[in-house]
Amino acid sequence: MRRSAPLCLALLLLAPMWACKKKEAEHIGPNEEVVVARKSFSFSSDNAPYDLLNAYFVQPGDVLDVLYQIQTWKKKDSFSVQVDHDIAINFVDTPELNQEQPVRPNGYISLPYIGSYYVIDKTPQLIQEELTEMYKQYLRDPDIYVMVPEFRTAIRELKADLHTAPRGLSRLVTVRPDGFVTFPMVGEVQVANRTIKVVNEALNEKYEALISGLHVDLFLEKHSGSLIYILGDVFKPGAFQIIKPITVAQAISLANSFKPSANLNQIVVVRKHEGQMVAKMINLNKSAALGGRDGLFYLQPDDIVYIPKRRLAKWADVVGEISEVLLFRGWGVSLSHDPWDKDPDNK
């Protein structure tokens, strides 16, 4: 026991030094370079790097520029009659029966002796063959040929509707609060929470079905702004617009920094995932943003950051403040779990 006493005394004397050494090791030293990790929620790991947006999802309030192109140069394997076409039926031996008329909205034209005749999606050659056969009961050796003298009626009307000096064949449309946009000829299309590419492909399918050769290119003219929410013990809490994911420290700077009474060890970040709100605790004091060695935690649009006070110990108080934002966004509140219980080191 006598030999162990000096050893114990030495350990007691060295313990504060080890504690200080451990504390120093948590921070970046002078002139030291370290690789700083980039972190986010576990379910967002596929989107790394977090400081870049892999895809932009259209939101209500966005302004989209729809550029129309008439691709008349594209060769078609076949040509079929459509609603916006005029069709001419010529009788060689009986010209008094000749007809030229627009195709009605129901797809029919009217002919002598026969009455209504359906032409939609039929080629001129097929129409000619069918009419020749049908008129054999009325005419001896009917000689008929079919022409489509006007097949760009809808495109001509679209050009007249869209053409303006500064923009050409384009139209600016705004995404409504319900997430829909009304496009010329196509009507309402749901665009919110879809990428520009996906919406563009869907539009081209619809326009191609209406008019062969009509193509659109979709551009984001103006975005309504992606928001994050900074709440709690900061000088300027509220909603802030961002153009890409940012770190927690950068977000706090948007709110004019934290107050002296703020608890930076227990910052709570809330993110929507698969219809639920998921909360995660961040210790900003260990972050590289404040000289620590821990990674930088990146936020994404619609994230909520709550900075509690040092004396705040009730999870219910956190939920109360965050709930106001969730209800405003129409998300609902399901933050029943307290993340502080699972992080004993963040004190």
Beta strands in 106-243 (DSSP E): 108-111, 115-118, 144-150, 163-164, 168-174, 180-183, 187-190, 214-222, 226-232, 238-242
Q: Are residues 146 and 293 in the same domain?
A: no
Q: Are residues 129 and 215 in the same domain?
A: no
Residues 322 and 328: their CA atoms lie apart, in Å, by 10
Q: Are residues 176 and 131 in the same domain?
A: no
In-domain check, residue 21: no
Q: Residue 143: give its domain's CATH number.
A: 3.30.1950.10
Q: Are residues 136 and 248 in the same domain?
A: no
Q: Are residues 201 and 293 in the same domain?
A: no
Helix (H) or strand (E) holding 160: helix 153-162
In-domain check, residue 266: yes
In-domain check, residue 347: no
pLDDT tens-digit profile of 162-193? 655 455 577 888 999 899 999 887 889 999 88
Q: Are residues 180 and 256 in the same domain?
A: no
pTM over cut 0.75: no
Q: Which amino acid type is present at position 21?
A: K
Dihedral (Cα; 222, 226, 232, 237), 10-degree rounding: -10
Q: Are residues 175 and 133 in the same domain?
A: no
Q: Point out the domain boundary residue: 150, 178, 197.
A: 150
Q: Are residues 163 and 205 in the same domain?
A: yes
Give the angle subtended at the CA of 120 by the CAs of 117 and 121, to the nearest 5°. Answer: 135
Domains held by the chain: number: 3
Q: Are residues 178 and 269 in the same domain?
A: no
In-domain check, residue 205: yes
In-domain check, residue 3: no
231 close to 305: Cβ distance less than 8 angstroms: yes
In this structure, the number of other CB atoms found within 10 A of the CB of residue 259 comes to 13
Q: Are residues 70 and 218 in the same domain?
A: yes
| pLDDT for the residue numbered 165 | 41
Q: Point out the domain boundary residue: 103, 122, 150.
A: 150
The residue range of the domain holding 114 is 86-150
Q: Point out the domain boundary residue: 222, 251, 267.
A: 222
pLDDT tens-digit profile of 71-115? 654 455 567 888 778 899 999 999 999 999 988 889 999 999 999
| pLDDT for the residue numbered 128 | 93
In-domain check, residue 11: no
Q: Are residues 102 and 114 in the same domain?
A: yes
Q: Residue 331: give its domain's CATH number.
A: 3.10.560.10
Instruction: Give, in order, the Cα–Cα distances in Å from 168 to each of 159, 208, 210.
Output: 9, 20, 21
User: In the chain, which stretches have pLDDT less than 70?
Assistant: 1-29, 31-36, 44-55, 71-78, 150-168, 212, 225, 288-293, 311-318, 320-347
Residues 117 and 89: their CA atoms lie apart, in Å, by 12
Q: Are residues 201 and 144 in the same domain?
A: no
